[in-house]
Structure 1
């Protein structure tokens, strides 16, 4: 350090020897004072204690850069900066030394330019300029196509039956599924019931594995195995003494999963679940059952070490409980953090004879009380509405959310009947499709007499252009405000119907689920992954000869 204590002594001795300045009696550095040394010692002790409590980062074998206190994974660019920081400094120094060889380039007293690097700076979220550029180009392309269609006297109705671009602006973000705040639906439903002040007595607790990991930050654990044995297992054993049965459910992360795209958007910067998911690879996931004699009977399901992470089928093991014991399991507590799953829980509560309580961490939701406010048909409609307005495998309508669709559904019994029929069969009924088309028109603010989305798209452009149907130069056209064309809505409804079919068959032990390739998805020839099929056929109308 230039201002360090050693340099201060040398400067004082140099000044005294040269006579340029009288030597001073006190040549100690300000950091050599008793108070400064005491504060430094306390900080070192705190850091050492933090490493003992949180784990020594120098013993980590992972290549990820972790935060010491929260265990959050920093962005990979931060790890690259630290790995290359020393080399960058050496390059700066070599450039400075080379500059000394020619005085005309640099002098000895010229400072070395500082490398300004902030490793853990939180980059504020901003709209990517490339996305704005793509949207602008799409709008310009749409305008040119529309003008060309008019000049060639094409059929305007045929023009609006096509999306006229590779990805529908109303449902996609650059070819990916558009997402929304899914928990808004839970907020609406939760406002209709009274939150229990205390957790009621229950026979069974079903724990979301990811929620359990997020609620148990590692303290003294240094490895994944220690974390599982010291932090997770004692918590599970405590639950087993309180409940007759404790089940832990982990979602399976397969590369070919329909949720792969949604998980990729969540990233790894702030995800503890992604970090500690591998803690259970090769270990045991335990389900506990306490019988009538208050003896704990344990059964384990081994997790495969393969990348697919497929759980062993329960049929390979003897049953934990018999039919007589199952009759005693009358009330469930579900511990989870995903607020978007309330709609599925209400459907389960209405179709079962047990009591279900959702533990959201900071509050409880009585699912049975919530289900009593709706008929079975209405609950089935809510399940389909949740998928229609955006779930993990289905896209949301830009700018529409879930509050407005919920209001439209509750105000019209016709839409309740239509959405209740979604998912009854793997094939979409024509009445369901036409009803979804009418609902989409209502969602975009059109009058009840407008029931076709292609007609609604034509009316929308007429409002922008006026009676002349001419796009003026510089006129902005936001394509995301247009409802999707019927061909796009058809593929969207295929994905919605497929998702609801899976949800409605969740009670079956081994449901027969067909391939998603015929239900709004296709395999990307380059990546080999499942992707949404936005529409079939041409994106533009065929030009007249």
Structure 2
């Protein structure tokens, strides 16, 4: 263009490649790898310690499966009976109600193409006497494996003898297995545990729960809870919601009430767009920017 008598304005008025370089690497989306940076923007100093007991605990089931050890067991039955169920029993000691929420992998979903790019097939039949796969994390990357495993573990939950004074709910496809209590849950067609957690949370608040703990390692869940919090508080002004986030040395508590009080009423409603625009599961992150977009948002209130 510099060596020819050409119109630069005309040249730059057209796309010069199929995919915007700020959003892709030769056509492959720059999926955000630092979504958790947003938590540093949202979190604030706790005004109180989390309660010793909760009326309800809502757990992302996939988080539980990823966090529990498998070295001491050989089969799926052993894993369920000696690792998974005892962990739930331990959680149930400090709550009246326990909800285990699984993802439901829909074949024609928007996220299916993303999963195909990320996941490596590692097929393994899930059965009680079958041996656990040596490559456990690779096994959990395959949606088909997870669907079978989640169904298997829900059956174990359903058949276990839980204390009569406790209440346990676990998703099974679009249905919910309800054990104990007098308030069974109906069907729910949400694909991801991210939003289905809110359905379980609302059901708990509707039936008398005041203090609720949500266990997750997904920033998306925190964002969704922030978005719906003020609506929840309007309907249930007694709600006290805590988020148990992360694992191991990265574990921390977030008090949703404190976070939303510091953000005000308007910003939480705009948070989903900000989160997706700066890089989410199915949207690209701007190259080199990530969640530092938060600083620009704070400096430009009209963006809200």
- TM-score calculated relative to the size of structure 1: 0.41
Is 2:284 the counterpart of 1:395? yes
Is 2:5 the counterpart of 1:170? no
The alpha-carbon distance between structure 1 residues 375 and 287, as it changes in their structure 2 partners (threshold 3 A), is farther
Q: What do residues 201-231 of structure 1 show as CA deviations (whole Å, max 9, x unaligned)?
A: 3211111112101221124322223312321
Q: Which aligned pairs between 1:54-73 and structure 2 lie closer than 5 A? A: none
The alpha-carbon distance between structure 1 residues 379 and 389, as it changes in their structure 2 partners (threshold 3 A), is same
Task: Say which structure, 1 or 2, has more relative contact order (CA 8 Å, 6+ apart).
Answer: 2
Residue 251 of structure 1: CA displacement? 1.8
Instruction: Decide which structure has greater strand share.
Output: 2
Residue number among 375, 380, 403 corresponding to 2:269 in the alignment: 380
In structure 2, the residue matched to 1:330 is 210
Alpha-carbon distance in structure 2 between the residues aligned to 1:378 and 1:182: 18
In structure 2, the residue matched to 1:461 is none
In structure 2, the residue matched to 1:210 is 62
In structure 2, the residue matched to 1:367 is 256
The alpha-carbon distance between structure 1 residues 316 and 358, as it changes in their structure 2 partners (threshold 3 A), is closer
SS in 2 for 1:284: helix
Residue 238 of structure 1: CA displacement? 3.1
The alpha-carbon distance between structure 1 residues 242 and 194, as it changes in their structure 2 partners (threshold 3 A), is closer
Q: CA RMSD in A?
A: 3.5
CA contact (8 A) 1:186 1:340 kept: no
Is 2:127 the counterpart of 1:274? no
Alpha-carbon distance in structure 1 between the residues aligned to 2:85 and 2:276: 35
Residue number among 184, 206, 227 corresponding to 1:320 in the alignment: 184
Residue number among 350, 356, 363 corresponding to 2:241 in the alignment: 356
SS in 2 for 1:351: helix
In structure 1, the residue matched to 2:198 is none
Alpha-carbon distance in structure 2 between the residues aligned to 1:273 and 1:283: 14
CA contact (8 A) 2:279 2:286 kept: yes
In structure 2, the residue matched to 1:242 is 94
Q: Which runs of 5+ in 2 are unaligned?
A: 121-134, 187-202, 234-238
CA contact (8 A) 1:245 1:287 kept: no
Alpha-carbon distance in structure 2 between the residues aligned to 1:324 and 1:408: 37
Alpha-carbon distance in structure 2 between the residues aligned to 1:329 and 1:374: 25
Alpha-carbon distance in structure 2 between the residues aligned to 1:339 and 1:299: 23
Would you say how many aligned residue pairs link Structure 1 and Structure 2?
Answer: 254
Alpha-carbon distance in structure 1 between the residues aligned to 2:116 and 2:205: 42
Alpha-carbon distance in structure 2 between the residues aligned to 1:333 and 1:346: 14
Residue 295 of structure 1: CA displacement? 2.5
Alpha-carbon distance in structure 2 between the residues aligned to 1:207 and 1:299: 10
SS in 2 for 1:410: helix
Alpha-carbon distance in structure 2 between the residues aligned to 1:324 and 1:358: 15
CA contact (8 A) 2:176 2:185 kept: no
CA contact (8 A) 1:195 1:365 kept: no
Q: What do residues 355-404 of structure 1 show as CA deviations (whole Å, max 9, x unaligned)?
A: 2211123211111101001122111222211111010011111111111x
Alpha-carbon distance in structure 2 between the residues aligned to 1:203 and 1:341: 20
Q: What do residues 183-216 of structure 1 show as CA deviations (whole Å, max 9, x unaligned)?
A: 11111222x3338655543211111112101221
In structure 2, the residue matched to 1:182 is 35
The alpha-carbon distance between structure 1 residues 297 and 246, as it changes in their structure 2 partners (threshold 3 A), is closer
Q: What do residues 97-156 of structure 1 show as CA deviations (whole Å, max 9, x unaligned)?
A: xxxxxxxxxxxxxxxxxxxxxxxxxxxxxxxxxxxxxxxxxxxxxxxxx569x64x45x4
CA contact (8 A) 2:96 2:167 kept: no
In structure 1, the residue matched to 2:302 is 414
Residue 167 of structure 1: CA displacement? 1.4
Q: Which runs of 5+ in 1 are unaligned?
A: 1-145, 303-310, 417-545
CA contact (8 A) 1:357 1:365 kept: yes
Residue number among 72, 75, 78 corresponding to 1:223 in the alignment: 75
Residue 250 of structure 1: CA displacement? 1.6
Residue 262 of structure 1: CA displacement? 4.0
Q: Which aligned pairs between 1:62-141 and structure 2 lie closer than 5 A? A: none
The alpha-carbon distance between structure 1 residues 299 and 412, as it changes in their structure 2 partners (threshold 3 A), is closer
Residue 315 of structure 1: CA displacement? 11
